[in-house]
Amino acid sequence: MNNNMRNMAMWALVITMFIVMISMSQNSFQAPSETPMKYSELVDKVEAGQIKMAEIDSDQGYVSGETMDGKKFKVNSGRYNEEPQKLFEANDVVFDHVEPKTTSPLMAILFNALPLLLIIGVSLMFMRSMQGGGRGGAMSFGKSRAKLLNEPAGKVTFDDVAGVESAKEDLKEVVEFLADPTKFTRLGAKIPTGALLVGPPGTGKTLLARAVAGEAGVPFFTISGSDFVEMFVGVGASRVRDMFADARKNAPCIIFIDEIDAVGRHRGVGTSGGHEEREQTLNQLLVEMDGFDGQEGVVIIAATNRPDVLDKALLRPGRFDRQIEVPYPDIAGREKILQVHMRGKPMSADVDVKYVAKGTPGFSGADLANLVNEAALLAARRNKRKIAMREFEDARDKVMMGAERRTLAMSEEEKAMTAYHEAGHAIVGLNMAGSLPIHKATIIPRGRALGMVQYMPERDQISQSRQEMIARMAMAMGGRAAEEIKFGYDKVTSGASSDIEQVTRIATAMVTEWGLSDAVGPIAYKNTDSNSFHPGIGRGSSISPETAAVIESEIKRFVTEAHETATKILKKKKKDWVSLSEALLEYETLSGDEIKDLLKDGTKPHRPDTSAKPKLSAVPTTRGGPSIGKAQPES
């Protein structure tokens, strides 16, 4: 019986006892229905012959009866008093004795003990609610909040985790130890006490820890780092002790601490009470991990995406001495993750998992799961029996850019502005060495963007060359340059805001981080001040004003040259640019192949509607919307 059932049963018992007590009290002390009469009046009426009949209840001390005129009466005569009987006999009044009521000893005891039992029951309920019944009551703040997950059926295994093969290989040793500790201990080997999973959000750190428990078939305790920290000093340390005590009772087992940076940050900074509580909690965690014996069979797995803020004592050998990187999956990893999430879902024959994986660089496992789910939702809304490639295309655009806004009221001038803007991006990208192949151009509003040009990388880009960066900046400035050429200097809009921000960010990194400026040289001026827009020239920087001026000048030079390059290309390829803009106004969306055919021999798309060709896209460039860093290759 769980805690809720026990609480309900106890409350039901208390309420039943209360009702019984009230009922018995009412039955025992019910007010008499007869007319009360004084004993002296009874004597006068008996002597006057006005009493028809009477009953004597010696046990309760009452005399009741009926007068000659039909009125009932009741007189308090006192218990075991013989005077009423003598009075009735002397005056020839018909009377009788009431049989004394017999009460069982059990009922008598229950009736007498019922108030006490009721008080005890209410007290127990109050104390249990204060202790929380294992659910964090007022008196249970020192108890562990770790949840025990023991999944004999439907447990998670390594087959359910894909895209992180290197991390799984590192954790298989932990699985073997938990399954057969003597295999290691007989040779004098000691398994690492703790394993720290490090990686971006959504990459499957928690799933990996559950898979280790599932493979080894051991209990799995899970808790968040924030569950240890309270406003009262000592509470977190108490919870740590209680958690490890529970783990030892269930050994071999796994303790999983999610977001351990909430409690494991560097010590020695700050003076507030909350900071003191966090340090005491961390100290207790360090002590408990030090006290582990290799025979106990308790392994700690923690996860964080901020390993740089963890205390050094937490990472030394003997504690979290093994750090396992869980990065974003590569193309092969994304393909395996998609296959896992596609299990049990009806897929159309045109779904190419490799192509979907290729078009989702930078997606985490959680992102890919969301992508498959969105595709399934779209197919259901369209009353389809299977999920087709078109659903994956639309789902990815929705995840990256937001839902389509076909109901957005745009004037003809705004549509033309968007078409020429996006065509400018495409034409510059097609004529720049190092640019990615174009996959799709559209002027359908989506999210905050009024249009976009999407690119398909041939592979996951780990690094970028100078040529690729320059091409990327020129392509991004193609929209602003197109607006200036077509509509004039005074008609330029704010639609290129995200493009300008993207170009500025690339130029700043080239100058201050990657050493790609001849004037500045291969020196890193990156500043960790998050409030500074330009890394290296913000507040707290140690560089001189002269160097800051050179950095600003170089950043401006890169941005300006990108704009000039885009302007030259659009003027040189004006015919292609205008042709593509008019096609976008007519068809709204063009695939990469349709753009190539159009620019090659003027062939226009032959399709019954203006929908895009059902393929997957990547790396969008938007007008009037935010830059989509998730789909862009990492620097």
Q: Which residues are catalytic?
A: 422
H/E stretch holding 154 reads none
- Cα separation, 586 vs 381, in Å, equals 27
Instruction: Write the CA distances from 564 to 161, 338, 474, 480, integer angstroms.
Output: 48, 42, 8, 11
Place of tokens 């007869």: 34
The contacts of residue 241 (CB under 8 Å, 6+ apart) are 284, 288
At 114, which amino acid appears? Answer: L
Burial bucket for residue 53 (CB in 10 Å: 0-12, 13-18, 19+):
middle
Give me the DSSP letters along 95-136. Answer: EEEPPPPP--HHHHHHHHHHHHHHHHHHHHHHHHHHHGGGS-
CB 262 within 8 A of CB 224: yes
* Phi and psi, residue 485, nearest 5°: -70, -45
CA angle 479, 496, 504 (to 5 degrees): 100
Closest CA to 482 of 574, 595, 600, 413: 574
Place of tokens 């009469």: 37
- Cα separation, 476 vs 632, in Å, equals 13
Place of tokens 């700050």: 270
